[in-house]
Structure 1
Amino acid sequence: MDVKQLTALVAVADAGSVTRAAELLHLVQPTVTRQIHTLEQELGVSRFERSRPGMELTEPGRLMLERARRVLAELERARAEIRPNPECCRES
């Protein structure tokens, strides 16, 4: 499981379709599909019900989405804390 797979999961859940998620992520649709498929294979459970109108989360998918959002938020917090603050490092 990696950050790209978790990002794809969140994007598809939010967008309701792989195509729209790919557009939002600036990726091609097969890449997003592959990330979701790899995540599902690794976990051994489908995350989405695929239907004509779009993608709906399964119960395990809803649980994974909640966790994925937390992981991505923590990573973003870590990045923000670690990045140098340009204000603190200016020479007078």
Structure 2
Amino acid sequence: MFIINLTYTSALEKIDEFLNEHIAFLNEQYSLGNFLASGRKVPRTGGIILSNVKSKSELEKIVAEDPFHQNNLANYELTEFIPTKTCKELEFLVEG
């Protein structure tokens, strides 16, 4: 499992220009089963995505498709972790 930590490198006005494309990218990844949760940071300096993609190299290819990445609007930090404890609703992550 991975945490994707996006940090904006552009003004929010520029981010907002590509927001609909970014949301379409997220929706596609959810439909493929690659993303589990996502949302904005508070304050709005970027976002966080939880991904259950199996390998970092596969995730790097997916992230490269994000319009924010393609337009150099954000930096991406990928952190791999192994969930060993979850709430009942997410038990499949530990069992998986």
> TM-score under structure 2 normalisation?
0.33
Higher relative contact order (CA 8 A, sep 6+): 2
> TM-score under structure 1 normalisation?
0.34
- Structure showing the higher helix proportion among its residues: 1
